[in-house]
Amino acid sequence: MPDFMDHIQQHAEDVAADALAAHARRSQQVGRTTCANLDCGEAIAKERTALGAQLCLDCQSAEESRAAHFKAWGRR
Ligand SMILES: [Zn+2]
């Protein structure tokens, strides 16, 4: 039943396209133009905003090293 299989495949492609579009919309919504850290407030590059960035590079790397440190201690 080739017609049936074509229909299924087309449907799968539509669903994937919808998911990608929804993800793109979400990313645009969550991206910030200034750092979410209120003590910082540094401007975020628009390339990072487009990727959904919440923190400036300094705060992001500080947050990541803090998280890595916390994970290391949590292992004890
Ligand atoms: Zn910051």
Please tell me the distance between residue 54's alpha carbon and the centre of ligand 1 in angstroms.
Answer: 9
Please tell me the distance between residue 55's alpha carbon and the centre of ligand 1 in angstroms.
Answer: 5
Please tell me the distance between residue 4's alpha carbon and the centre of ligand 1 in angstroms.
Answer: 53
Please tell me the distance between residue 13's alpha carbon and the centre of ligand 1 in angstroms.
Answer: 39
pLDDT value of residue 25: 65
Three-state DSSP at 34 gives: strand
Please tell me the distance between residue 61's alpha carbon and the centre of ligand 1 in angstroms.
Answer: 10
9-40 per-position pLDDT tens digit: 888 888 888 887 877 666 556 689 999 999 99
Q: Whole-angstrom Cα distance, residue 16 to residue 11?
A: 9
